[in-house]
Amino acid sequence: MTSIRRFLLAGVLAALTLFSFIAPLRGYRSSMAEVETLFDAHLLDASKLVANLDMARITRQSQLGDNLAFQVWEDGKLLAASSQAPSDHMAPLQQGFDFANFDGYRWRTYSWFDESTQRWIMAAERTDQRFALAENVVLETVLPILLGIPVTGLLIWLIVSQGLKPLTQLSSDLQKKPAHDLSELPLRATPKELVPVVNAVNGLIHRLGAALEREKRLSADAAHELRTPITALKIQLHNLAQEVDAGSESFRQLEQGVERMGHLVEQLMSLYRTSPEQFTADCTDIDLHALAQELVARMYPLFEARQQTLELLGKRCMMRGEPFALETLLANLLTNASKYTPLGGRVQVNVEAGDAVVVLKVQDNGAGISAEDKARIFERFYRVDRSSNAGPGCGLGLTIVQHVAALHQATVSVHASEFGSGAAFTVIFPALMET
């Protein structure tokens, strides 16, 4: 994966290093030229000095320092020389500077003809000294830069990291955003360069929210529109029952089909009936135990018909909620408990106060739910058994339960019941702090 931070670090460091080397390189050239002039002047002086030496006292071993060689020629004969000098001419018999190789080194030479003594004076100096000096100058400039590269790198890294912080912040903000949170990203403290990105993301969130809302409205509106024809259908079916054999298999299936359709429409409507804004407006203080008591009484005939026992445990628990939505939640859990528990089974509702929470638990001793289905049962239209003998249902009941729970900032979980077999649904609501 490409990294802006690494790219900036490498780029800036490379540019800086390149620049740091070009500058001393230019310096090297000019220092080389200066050193050359300086050394040439020195060599010229030295050659004058040689001319003034007392030739009688000079031996072949004479030295004027390690780096200075000389020869004095008179009438084509070597009159005097330093120890490093070769036996023949070390420089051409021509006044001026030149280069020569002897004694294992390269030398800068200077020759001149001394008119007063009629002698050729030649002096030579090793060139490696000159380079060493110029190199020293460059090294002294480059070395601090070389040593400074890691420190500069670290500094650039810190600066780049600081500069990229708003980007990191933006990506973490986006990552932390829950899937259902379609609120816009705040623009405060956003650097100028990121404003178009934040605006674009906000635009996208806005469009997404509008599209989702349209989708919700569409199903709610469609369900609403279907309500009237289904009611009409039910009346027609009732009338038809007087005219035809109401006990026949075809009639029973027709009746079941209409029933199923009516159920689906009701479920679809209750799924999107409550919008967050409407919900907040309709919220009141509720005793969940009392609400459960009322609903259990109302639904008792359903359980009786299946010879199932239905019990309610717990005590008064106050919470903030929307009564109609909470009734729908509980009714769906109870309907499921009855539906997926065989005849003569047992269903228990428990409303208890916990640590700043109200816990609603609905459990049965039916077949229960497999681990892999547990992960999917809250999905829209998901049913474990899709065959017609699974009983009436459309796979929306638990989606509604979850929707209502989310509106109440509650969590829903499913696990094994305490009755040996069967499922237990637990909804944990925030409790109302009674003063």
Interface residues toward ligand ADP, by CB under 6 A: 332, 336-337, 340, 364, 366-369, 377, 382-385, 393-399, 423
Closer residue to ligand ADP (CB): 17 or 335:
335
DSSP 162: H
Alpha helices in 274-370 (DSSP H): 276-282, 288-305, 323-339
In whole angstroms, how close is the CB of 407 to ligand ADP at the nearest point?
17
The Cα angle at residue 108 between residues 105 and 113, in degrees rounded to 5: 130
Closer residue to ligand ADP (CB): 119 or 346:
346
By beta-carbon distance, which residue lies closest to ligand ADP?
Answer: 397
Q: Are 166 and 194 contacting, i.e. CB atoms less than 8 angstroms apart?
A: yes
Q: Are 221 and 271 contacting, i.e. CB atoms less than 8 angstroms apart?
A: no
CB atoms within 10 A of CB 273: 17
Helix (H, G, I), strand (E, B) or coil at 73: strand
Question: Cα(65)–Cα(338) distance, rounded to whole angstroms?
Answer: 115
Question: Cα(265)–Cα(260) distance, rounded to whole angstroms?
Answer: 9
Helix (H, G, I), strand (E, B) or coil at 75: coil
Q: Are 67 and 129 contacting, i.e. CB atoms less than 8 angstroms apart?
A: yes
In whole angstroms, how close is the CB of 375 to ligand ADP at the nearest point?
11
Closer residue to ligand ADP (CB): 91 or 337:
337
In whole angstroms, how close is the CB of 211 to ligand ADP at the nearest point?
24
Question: Cα(186)–Cα(225) distance, rounded to whole angstroms?
Answer: 39
Closer residue to ligand ADP (CB): 60 or 376:
376
In whole angstroms, how close is the CB of 330 to ligand ADP at the nearest point?
13
Question: Cα(250)–Cα(12) distance, rounded to whole angstroms?
Answer: 81
Closer residue to ligand ADP (CB): 142 or 337:
337
Closer residue to ligand ADP (CB): 47 or 332:
332
In whole angstroms, how close is the CB of 333 to ligand ADP at the nearest point?
7
The Cα angle at residue 208 between residues 189 and 215, in degrees rounded to 5: 155
In whole angstroms, how close is the CB of 309 to ligand ADP at the nearest point?
15
Enter the tokens of residue 423: 């499922």
Question: Cα(309)–Cα(303) distance, rounded to whole angstroms?
Answer: 7
Strand pairing class (357-364; 346-353): antiparallel
Closer residue to ligand ADP (CB): 108 or 346:
346
In whole angstroms, how close is the CB of 339 to ligand ADP at the nearest point?
6
In whole angstroms, how close is the CB of 413 to ligand ADP at the nearest point?
13
Question: Cα(435)–Cα(430) distance, rounded to whole angstroms?
Answer: 15
Closer residue to ligand ADP (CB): 124 or 412:
412
